[in-house]
Chain A
Amino acid sequence: MDTPLRKLYPWFTLLGLVIGCLVIAAFYKDQHREWKDWQRQYIKDELARASTPEQRSDAARLQLEVRQIVLPDLDRVDRCTSCHVAVEDPSYAGFPLPRSYHPNHDRHPFNKFGCTICHQGQGRATTRDAAHGKVEHWDQPMLDLKYVQSACAKCHLPGDIPEAPQLARGRAIFEESGCIGCHKLHGSGGVVGPELDAVGAHRSPEWLMKHFKNPAAVTPGSPMPPLKATDPDLDALTLYVLSFTGEPLSAYYVSMKTIPGPLAGRRLFEEKGCIGCHSVAGKGGTVGPALDEVAKRHNPEWISAHFRNPSAVSPGTVMPQFNFNEQEIRALTEFLLSLSDTNIVGFMKIPSLMTATERGKAVYKKYGCAGCHAAEGKGGIPNPNSKTAEQVPGLKFVSEGYTKEELKKRILDGQKEIPVMDPKRPPAPLYMPAWRGRIAEGELADLMEYLLSLAPKGEKVDF
């Protein structure tokens, strides 16, 4: 009876060996991680660089371990420092990646911010490709450094921070291009295109760039007209749109948006009537000095002190003491400093200083009219099969074709049905939305003022 069993014995041996090898292979694969190599090298360096006994004992205590920054408030665990082990050590400045020092993080300490909140990528991962997010099924690969400013908008208002000029530039282009005419953002905007609230979370920069240059190429059948802008401008726009992540952050982080910046300062500046005595861009009172270049004459501390008590820093001044609180003082100071910053002067204009036409131009921008009618109502945006030469009509000569009443009705009621050239072809994709209930009375008046001013002087066309 035992004889036939004997032929089973080699199989026991073979399968036993196979299983043994497989278990070893599984553990080898599991244990062999590249971060260990980087940390070994770091420990070697630390031991070599240690000069005092204290440093030597510190270096000797270093262990191979997964290093992580746990950020429950940001819903993140960032293990980037497992490889980027020296990001906090300035003596590693200039070392090759991943062991180099990360400069400029003093205001964003790693233990409070981690890495992926700005750089994106996959914080929990401990292999290079997975951590950098360049793997399948990870929607947020690491941001190219040229787009990294988009992350600032998670906590700061775009335009509020002079350190992120690209973000401010992107926002300005976004507003000038009239994106909001068709797309909804934070609850306001048109309904022709998709909402943009979380578009940055699942679109890549490459996709966005392609989309701006030729929307139909990435979204077949899209009626969106291509944007005519230079590549750097489109990069800035991409950066700004990438900042729409829709990611909910805890109060500690978003409170940055309520900490007064130049935008809040501008509002205060208007409310308190500063312009009665001071001038900006040549407009305003002459009792006090012009403020355009104030940042060049005084440092921020001086300006803040001046708001606290004007006569303390400039004796004999007639400026009254306003009893601003510290937040208001900070906001006003930021605002004054921003006046000399050309990057953000675009939307730092003070509405009460503008003429009705200028305000109308801002309204034109705010509601995204330029998205279809082009900047300054030049027209020329294609709208296939519409009777008006397959284009969205320009607005330069509305003053000749419409009375004020007709124009007002046209804006408020819109035109859903666009007359077509050829009834057999698909209808024109772009149409005039009704703005009733969405545009304020004063804004409408300003807008019409602007539209009627568009006609070039001395030119006439026949209708």
Chain B
Amino acid sequence: MLTSLWNSFRLTRVGRSVFRVGLPQSNLERAQVAISSFFLHFQPAKVNRRSLKFRTTLGLGLISLYLFLILVATGVLLMFYYVPATEHAYQNMKDLEFVVTAGQVLRNMHRWAAHLMVLFVGLHMCRAFYTAAYKPPREFNWVVGVCLFLLTLGLSFTGYLLPWDQLAYWAITVGTSIAGYAPLIGQKLKFLFLGGHVVGESALIRFYVLHVIVLPLAAIMLIALHIWRVRKDGGLARPDEAQPARQDMPQLPVTKTYGLMELARGSTPAVGIKPEDEVFTWPNVVFREILLFMATIAVVLVLAIFWNAPLEQIANPVHPPNPAKAPWYFLGLQELVAYSAFWGGVVVPGLLVTALIVLPYIDRKPKGVGVWFSKERKTAVTIFTVCLATAVILTVIGTAFRGPNWSFQLPWRPVHVEEGSH
């Protein structure tokens, strides 16, 4: 019945003006719909069958994108209530919890989706590394990805301050003081971020503007570029054996093409070459994407219903918690800073980001592309794994094993220090 309703709408003058192709019935229409729809044209009309396999990407990039969309939607709704002023911000959180319809669920979704996004963007980057997806011709898209990772951290970090509770206030105080360790520009940079020497009203408004305008716009543009480049660079990275050598295949006349999909350089699924290995984006890819979106929403909803986003006491600049901790994704850095402010706060993060950016220009040999943990890339995989493991271990130590005065403690035996003791 739904189908007949849809069909009768589709054939009206309005329906035809909106949906140019309609639900595709033939292969021609399947190609057309992917090309003529704005929302589908980011993807090619046909993809390699391998792209459909879950283990190719584990869906990590898509999940990151979906989390971003959830964050935009919930974030815009939250903006209707939030006032970025120190005397209102915290009270807004309380009002969301106690009197705004579904306010708490909204805030919970935003909070948990933000944490998940940091996690999944990180995992997505690991996937790209372990399947050597940064190798030519995808070098630049890897760099765009690194920028997106930094933007994600920036978005999460700027949002962290907005509830204006003790957790927010001191995490930002600690986080920005790490930035202050950079030589020469560190203190200037910190002043620029905070609009002062301490976290206060001007820091709140700066973080707010960054969080709701500057960084999301930058992220939207880079995400569009990132996805567009995936298509332009020949779809998902895949090993050579997945694309048969051209000379083995009968070459079809050059004039013959399917639909209007791209004919590009490199490993683009070229027309006439093993056509049985490719499938139409509609519905094969689109349906799976929708399913993954539904699953992502379901997980975020479960988290939001059963676990409330943290909200501590209102920010109190004279009562620091002990220990004051940065957001979890910076706790590895804070742990390093505890050993040496210069090495932990400047050298290590600086080197890491630089290494990530120059990686595809150094490691260029087209070995192991599209293969998980390829044996041909033992050195690269080992180095990356060691760095990753170190980062994870440092983060876990900083999160769970650090108690008052940053002293070592076991998470199941927390040390309590009497506040204000003398």
Contact = CB atoms under 8 A, between A and B. Distances in A.
Contacts of A77: 91
A22 B298 contact: yes
A11 B291 contact: yes
* Most B CB within 10 A of own CB, among A15, A202, A219: A15
Nearest to A123: B94
B29 interface: no
Closest 7 CB pairs of A and B: A15-B294, A22-B301, A124-B94, A126-B98, A137-B312, A26-B105, A30-B102
A220 interface: yes
Contacts of B311: 137
B263 to A, nearest CB: 22
Interface in B157-186: 165-166
B305 A221 contact: no
11 contacts: A5-B284, A11-B291, A15-B298, A25-B305, A26-B304, A29-B105, A30-B105, A127-B98, A193-B422, A194-B420, A220-B421
Interface of A: 1, 5, 8, 11-12, 15-16, 18-19, 22-23, 25-27, 29-31, 66, 75, 77, 79, 122, 124-127, 130, 137-139, 193-194, 202, 218-222
Contact of A79 (B99, B305, B319): B99
A218 B418 CA distance: 8
B94 A125 contact: yes
A126 B98 CA distance: 6
B422 A79 contact: no
A74 to B, nearest CB: 13
Contact of A22 (B166, B279, B290, B305): B305
Contacts of A1: 279-280, 284
Given A26-B301, A137-B312, A202-B319, 6 more contacts: A16-B294, A19-B298, A22-B298, A22-B301, A125-B94, A222-B422
A27 B102 contact: yes
B201 interface: no
Nearest to B290: A12
Contacts of B297: 19
B286 to A, nearest CB: 10
Contacts of B165: 137
B99 A126 contact: yes
B313 interface: yes
Interface of B: 87, 91, 94-95, 97-99, 101-105, 165-166, 279-280, 283-284, 287-288, 290-291, 294-295, 297-298, 301-302, 304-305, 311-313, 319, 418-422
B320 to A, nearest CB: 13
A125 B294 CA distance: 33
A127 B98 CA distance: 8
B98 A15 contact: no
Contacts of B98: 79, 124-127, 130
B396 to A, nearest CB: 24
A26 B294 contact: no
A360 to B, nearest CB: 31
B94 A139 contact: no
Contacts of B302: 22
A30 B104 contact: yes
A122 B91 CA distance: 11
Nearest to A137: B312
A19 B101 CA distance: 19
Contacts of B304: 26
B301 A139 contact: no
